[in-house]
Structure 1
Amino acid sequence: MATPIQTVMSPARYVQGKDAITRVGEFVAPIGKRPLIVADDVVWGIVQQAVETSFAEADLPVERVGFGRFATPTAIDDLVTAIRERDADVVVGVGGGSAIDAAKAAGHLAGIRWASVPTAASTDAPTSALAVVYTDEGEFIEYRFFPHNPDLVLIDTRLVANAPVQFLVAGIGDALATWVEARAAARAHADTMAGGLQTAAGVALAELSWTLLHDNALQAIEAVRAKVVTPALEKVVEANTLLSGLGFESGGLAAAHAIHNGLTAAPQAHGLAHGQKVNVGTLAQLVMEGAPAEEIEDFVVFTTKVGLPNTLTEIGLTVDDTDVLRAVADAATVESETIHNMPFPVTPEIVVDALVALEGISRGIRAEHGLPEPVRYEHH
């Protein structure tokens, strides 16, 4: 048995601020001289002018390839080919989590460096040394792990303020799981995604992410609705992107993300954002843990106000979907899943029971606080 170690990992540089995209060339230039940008047409339409100007100032050529919807094995392999054809020495993923993950995975396979430029604060993918690989339909296949994090993460808060508000809300759902999962992994003395036990730093960053979200999320959502950048928005972007990224990777994942991965197998939940499904996983984890009633109540009230799903109804399921819930629970508890970082053994039955229980729990709390009843999600 190897000697136990504690470890923390992080990107080489994190850059955040209003109009940060106008300086992207300055931060990419020290990493590579022949960048390949990966961005879909919508994202490129938004950032092209700023990137081209900034790259010209930094004496960098502008080469861009498009991107589909998910980081699939084929999409990643196609990117490797594009990197080799152009002899690129750094790949820059611009846009959402899947484009960024595909760029990381392809950069790793091609043996070059990689940078993340998220255009929304919708997941903590940009900072991590792993990629989540999906099928064309968006079903979870696997995590792919890399020996290091991105050389650069650059996020422009003006782009975040101008992106649809549901992206920020989804990012809050993803980030709220970080502390709940790190806390459980701490109790279990579980190894983290960073490949060792937690450091105090990893756990503290996970908790800071939770604190910043509780203090700033509602104000940040209003800022995005108004398309303005405020200090509250800056804090939430940092919580969603940097702190949640460092916190999940060096603090440990547990049940919430495993249940998310299970939920990708439910056709009814297709089309929902990563963070929306994670939020249902976080509440299910709190129920599984037998968390204090007050903590569960706070979580349901807060996430309802934020606009995140905390019932089965809101992810297109009902308590009577026995077969689907069982399939979700089976997928969430496969041997390789992070649910086994919980401080007690988890079976599919425990997961099904928690998912069924959270419907009534959430509905009761919402009614008690005069909050809206859940609206059924319909996947089109």
Structure 2
Amino acid sequence: MPTTRSLLAPGRYVQGRGVLADLGTYVAAIGSVPLILADPVVRQLTEATVTESFRQAGLAVRFEEFGGIPTAAEARRVADVLSDRGCDVIIGLGGGSTIDTAKAAGDNAGIRWVSVPTVASTDAPTSALSVVYSEEGVFETYRFYSRNPDLVLVDTQLVANAPARFLVSGIGDALATWIEARAVQRANGPTLAGGMATHTGIALAKLSWDLLWENALPAVEAVRSNLVTPAVEAVVEANTLLSGLGFESGGLAAAHSVHDGLTVVPHTHHLMHGEKVNIGSITQLILEAAAAEEIREFIEFTARLGLPTTLTEAGLDHVDDEVLRMVVEAALAPEETIHNLPFSVSENDLLDALKMVEELGRSVRAEAGLPEPRAPQEERPPVPAARMA
């Protein structure tokens, strides 16, 4: 059992409307030969602002196109580019996959790295780890580093300009932070930071949860109109900073293991990271025998946000047990974080919990007057976002 306690955090966190215009000033304090990793869409949206910001800071602008999937091979390719150009800092500009690849490439090249998320869809930007996938988008492993990013900078206007689904996915990822951290704490289990959780890490995980329950619904409504409101600022902070610190220094459990299991079957590849995690959160609550009211409130809340709460929405409504057992087997792999729960989980336990997600998801939606879940090939009507009674 671990006996030490540890907390990890980035060197600096900056958030606000329009802060991308200040990126050059912050980067100049970290390195003099930066490289920006971004996909073509993000580059088109941000290049003018970044170029002017770097010009004012006396930095040259060098972009490199992200290949699209955070594989080990892509990290090696980008690292070669860094070495060839003599770069001393890499900036991951975009979503979680871009940022995870920038961290991996920076580590390979032995240089510093910066996270600039343009969406608040995951808690990857602050962490000292990357998630590595295969070319087919299947989870392979977590890759850990000796340090966190030197800088995380989030322009909330960029977040508000992105499709609301990105913010909603980030909420699904962040809501799992407290569910998992409290389970790891009960088990006195290890965190990703090494050792046991600090009281600070647990408190930050709970604060993320509290901010989301208060602000998530109005924030999503605001982002649908590209507005930056106090609720949006709160949710961006919860999704990015608080969830990032909370998951890394509080610990992961079953929710992310189920996510990893869901990646092994092609049926779920239409879902974003936080959407799969939400299926995992419900599964974990079922495994824990959480209070029925707690599970129902969570399902209704996340359904109103537009997160999937049934296997149907994950594309697994008519599959046989063989497919679900593939998910179960991957989620229960020896290295998976589901083993951080304060009890052991068998294959049949997890299989039945996954099946129960469908039953509970449907019944809660019916009781709340929400539309029936639709399979992914069907066009889904927007879910009412009114506050729960």
> Under a length normalisation based on structure 1, what TM-score does the superposition of the two structures give?
0.98
Question: What is aligned with 1:203?
Answer: 202
Please, which runs of 5 or more residues in structure 2 have no aligned partner? 379-389
Question: What is aligned with 1:223?
Answer: 222
Q: CA deviation at 1:136?
A: 1.4
Question: Which shifted more, 318-327 or 265-274?
Answer: 318-327
Q: CA deviation at 1:324?
A: 1.1
Question: What is aligned with 2:128?
Answer: 129
Question: For 1:12, what is the secondary structure of its paired residue?
Answer: coil
Per-residue CA deviation, residues 168-205 of structure 1 (Å, 9 max, x unaligned), is 01000100100000010001111000011000000000
| Distance in 2 between residues matched to 1:187 and 1:155, nearest whole Å | 33
| Distance in 1 between residues matched to 2:346 and 2:85, nearest whole Å | 48
Per-residue CA deviation, residues 219-239 of structure 1 (Å, 9 max, x unaligned), is 000111111100000000000
Per-residue CA deviation, residues 39-76 of structure 1 (Å, 9 max, x unaligned), is 01100000000100000111111011001221011110
| Distance in 1 between residues matched to 2:79 and 2:93, nearest whole Å | 16
Question: What is aligned with 1:49?
Answer: 48
Question: Which shifted more, 48-57 or 340-349?
Answer: 340-349
Question: What is aligned with 2:212?
Answer: 213
Question: What is aligned with 1:82?
Answer: 81
Q: 1:98 to 1:320 in 2, by over 3 A?
A: closer
Q: Does residue 111 of the first structure (1) align with residue 77 of the second (2)?
A: no
**1:319–1:359 contact (8 Å) kept in structure 2:** no
Percent sequence identity over aligned pairs: 56
| Distance in 2 between residues matched to 1:197 and 1:243, nearest whole Å | 18
Q: 1:203 to 1:319 in 2, by over 3 A?
A: farther
**1:319–1:356 contact (8 Å) kept in structure 2:** no
Q: What residue identity is the alignment partner of 1:119?
A: T
Per-residue CA deviation, residues 102-141 of structure 1 (Å, 9 max, x unaligned), is 0000101111000000000000000000000001111001
| Distance in 1 between residues matched to 2:130 and 2:226, nearest whole Å | 30
Question: For 1:315, what is the secondary structure of its paired residue?
Answer: coil
1:185-196 aligned at under 5 Å gives the runs: 185-196=184-195
1:279-298 aligned at under 5 Å gives the runs: 279-298=278-297
**2:317–2:375 contact (8 Å) kept in structure 1:** no
| Distance in 2 between residues matched to 1:85 and 1:332, nearest whole Å | 39
1:16-165 aligned at under 5 Å gives the runs: 16-165=15-164
| Distance in 2 between residues matched to 1:93 and 1:192, nearest whole Å | 25
**1:178–1:247 contact (8 Å) kept in structure 2:** yes
Q: Does residue 362 of the first structure (1) align with residue 355 of the second (2)?
A: no
Q: 1:289 to 1:120 in 2, by over 3 A?
A: same
Please, which runs of 5 or more residues in structure 1 have no aligned partner? none
Question: What is aligned with 2:13?
Answer: 14
Q: What residue identity is the alignment partner of 1:114?
A: W
**1:268–1:378 contact (8 Å) kept in structure 2:** no
| Distance in 2 between residues matched to 1:319 and 1:343, nearest whole Å | 32
| Distance in 2 between residues matched to 1:311 and 1:368, nearest whole Å | 15
Q: 1:353 to 1:112 in 2, by over 3 A?
A: same
Q: CA deviation at 1:319?
A: 6.2
Per-residue CA deviation, residues 316-345 of structure 1 (Å, 9 max, x unaligned), is 002652111101010001110000000101
| Distance in 2 between residues matched to 1:206 and 1:11, nearest whole Å | 16
Per-residue CA deviation, residues 291-322 of structure 1 (Å, 9 max, x unaligned), is 00110011011001100001000000026521
Question: For 1:277, what is the secondary structure of its paired residue?
Answer: helix
Q: 1:326 to 1:351 in 2, by over 3 A?
A: same
**1:157–1:237 contact (8 Å) kept in structure 2:** yes
Per-residue CA deviation, residues 264-310 of structure 1 (Å, 9 max, x unaligned), is 00110012100000000000000000000110011011001100001
Q: What residue identity is the alignment partner of 1:95?
A: G
Question: What is aligned with 1:270?
Answer: 269
Q: What residue identity is the alignment partner of 2:255?
A: A
Q: What residue identity is the alignment partner of 1:287?
A: I
1:212-361 aligned at under 5 Å gives the runs: 212-318=211-317, 320-361=319-360
1:169-184 aligned at under 5 Å gives the runs: 169-184=168-183
Q: 1:320 to 1:52 in 2, by over 3 A?
A: closer
Q: What residue identity is the alignment partner of 1:251?
A: G
Q: What residue identity is the alignment partner of 1:69?
A: G
Per-residue CA deviation, residues 143-185 of structure 1 (Å, 9 max, x unaligned), is 0000010000000000000001100010001001000000100
| Distance in 1 between residues matched to 2:287 and 2:131, nearest whole Å | 25
| Distance in 1 between residues matched to 2:301 and 2:251, nearest whole Å | 23
Q: What residue identity is the alignment partner of 2:329?
A: D
> Under a length normalisation based on structure 2, what TM-score does the superposition of the two structures give?
0.96
Question: For 2:167, what is the secondary structure of its paired residue?
Answer: helix
| Distance in 1 between residues matched to 2:223 and 2:267, nearest whole Å | 29
The alignment yields a C-alpha RMSD, in angstroms, of 1.1
Give the total of aligned pairs: 378
| Distance in 2 between residues matched to 1:191 and 1:331, nearest whole Å | 21
Question: For 1:43, what is the secondary structure of its paired residue?
Answer: helix
